[in-house]
Structure 1
Amino acid sequence: MRRLPTQDTAGTGIADAPSAPGPDDFPPFERIAGDARPGLLLICDHASNAIPPAYGSLGLPPAELERHIGYDIGAAGVTRGLAARLGSPAVLSCFSRLLIDPNRGEDDPTLVMRLSDGAVVPGNRHADAAEVEQRLARFHRPYHRAIEAEIAGARTAGIVPAIFSVHSFTPVWRGVPRPWHVALLWDNDPRFARPLIEALEAPGDLIVGDNEPYDGALRNDCLFRHGTARGLPHALIEIRQDLIADARGQAEWAERLADLLPAVLARPELHDITWFGSRTGPVAPI
């Protein structure tokens, strides 16, 4: 579900709309029902570039919201394709990362961006603590509660879910081409990420990054909150955006990942709730 924002006419970034719409006026997340038994939960933090009508376009022209600063291009299509192929549950955000970033902890200074890759965001310029709290309550927290509900449902059924977060990255950053086709980000639990890296590297046709072009060690981010803090296996995949910019590329990557994920998910260490890892192997259980 990709929804473009409503343009404001006064240049303020805020459209003529009620100042406090209820949660039903703009859904903060999309849930795709699925079978938890295979032990996989898909999430997509930056699925949409939509802005709730009350916020207009945040003062940005539509072209800016179509860029990577508005959402992770192609990530939603890959997530939905994977969910369909594997029958797995999925939770996707329905709001742009420029409104508030669901992949950031509530204490992160980049939670509401005022400047993003050279673009000033007028609608965020005066976002004070009260406004940030309002966005947390309406959008950020409901998205995370939806993830928590999926995890709780799996755990009630005796299932240890592996959390797979789907993202994408720009082919060029500040004039420098990025060589990787795909990368896995992780912090101190290699159970899910390392086998995925090995499976992606095995055919020999991909340059696979290990914590490239970003580092997965971001305290209080989405996977820290739902994976690390719970001792659940988790990994964040970054796919280069030019490879998944259209429906064909998204389908190809969904198919590629659907082919290799079942074997990785079959590894017994992924389903041990007492296991907590470091980059060198198991340490104390949590």
Structure 2
Amino acid sequence: MPFSPFHLVDGDQARGLVLLADHASRDLPQEYGSLGLPPSQFERHIAYDIGVEQLTRRLAAMLDVPAVLGGFSRLLIDPNRGEDDPTLIMRLSDGAIIPGNNPMPIEEREKRLDEFYRPYHRAVAQTIDAVSEASGKAPLIISIHSFTAFWKTTPRPWHAGILWDKDPRAVVPLLEGLRADPQLIVGDNEPYDGALRNDTMFQHCIVPGLAHALIEVRQDLIAEETGVAHWADRLAPILEAMNADPDMHEARQFGSRTGPIEEVYDE
């Protein structure tokens, strides 16, 4: 079968909710082999977000909503970066030199944009448009990611984090819902800052003014099926309640901490 840069999960588009998973896959097209890396590197976070594909698919099934999953490893090209981001194609990632990305001719960079990155983002845009049309309202967008339990040798205490820029609509209920469990440590723009110019949320949510949030779950908590099921059971009712709030379905500009909003991509 031909290599697909994205995978679509069916759901009821009239529900007005879309799930995204930029880093769901560690797959590479056959022509790229392993980018010169040993197989062990594809077990690590540098290749994909561990547990995210399973969690996203389970949530989509529980909520009966569509999802778009990235179909290629972030080692090939990172769909959650702007086209002008210097980390779009990594030459070195968490101590691993990536031979297949060194050097990176302009022609090869453009090929990866055309064949993988842009088709993924077109699929995201088309899914959002289809959900908007079917539901008759602006969709709520939730992006699912995962993060390592340690960065270098420093432990990360958070069980999950909610990343965002300036639009608080989806962020406040997510934080409140997760923090209702006193055993959870939930980061607010931790372990990363959610304001990243031209990333997926910027392109598809901040520019058009759609309510959104990026959920990061610690990888050791969703590396096994039992953990995936546990976190899906935890997140599904929170997302269900959020999606029932009319405020989540109004297109409204909040701007960005990264600078003025403008249409950067015109697909």
Aligned: 1:27 with 2:4? yes
Aligned: 1:117 with 2:94? yes
Q: Which moved further from structure 2: 207-216 or 244-253?
A: 244-253
Q: For the residues of structure 2 that align with 1:172 and 1:99, how far apart are their CA atoms?
A: 24
Structure 1: any 5+ residue segments left out of the alignment?
Answer: 1-23, 280-286
Identify the residue that residue 134 of structure 1 maps to in structure 2.
111
Mapping of residues 189-200 of structure 1, within 5 Å: 189-200=167-178
SS in 2 for 1:43: strand
Instruction: Give the 3 Å change call, closer, same or farther, for CA 223–278 of structure 1 in structure 2.
Output: closer
Q: Which moved further from structure 2: 46-55 or 257-266?
A: 257-266
1:232-282 Cα distance to aligned partner (Å, 9 max, x none): 011100000000001111111111111211111222211112453789xxx
SS in 1 for 2:142: strand
The one of 243, 246, 260 aligned to 2:238: 260
Aligned: 1:219 with 2:212? no
Tell me the CA shift for residue 94 of structure 1: 1.0
Q: For the residues of structure 2 that align with 1:81 and 1:154, how far apart are their CA atoms?
A: 19
The one of 24, 47, 71 aligned to 1:94: 71
Structure with more contact order per residue of length (Cα contacts < 8 Å, sep ≥ 6): 2
1:38-79 Cα distance to aligned partner (Å, 9 max, x none): 221001000011111100000000001110000000011100
SS in 1 for 2:50: coil
Mapping of residues 202-213 of structure 1, within 5 Å: 202-213=180-191
- Percentage identity across aligned positions? 59
Specify the code of the residue in structure 2 equivalent to 1:178. R
TM-score normalised to structure 1 length: 0.87
Mapping of residues 29-108 of structure 1, within 5 Å: 29-108=6-85
The one of 179, 189, 192 aligned to 2:157: 179
SS in 1 for 2:15: coil
Q: For the residues of structure 2 that align with 1:142 and 1:110, how far apart are their CA atoms?
A: 19
Q: For the residues of structure 1 that align with 2:90 and 2:253, how far apart are their CA atoms?
A: 36
TM-score normalised to structure 2 length: 0.93
1:105-137 Cα distance to aligned partner (Å, 9 max, x none): 111110000000000000000112111110011
Identify the residue that residue 5 of structure 1 maps to in structure 2.
none
Instruction: Give the 3 Å change call, closer, same or farther, for CA 53–152 of structure 1 in structure 2.
Output: same
RMSD of the alignment, in Å?
1.3
Give aligned pairs, total: 256
Specify the code of the residue in structure 2 equivalent to 1:187. D
Instruction: Give the 3 Å change call, closer, same or farther, for CA 138–93 of structure 1 in structure 2.
Output: same
Q: Which moved further from structure 2: 141-150 or 256-265?
A: 256-265
Q: Which has the larger radius of gyration?
A: 1
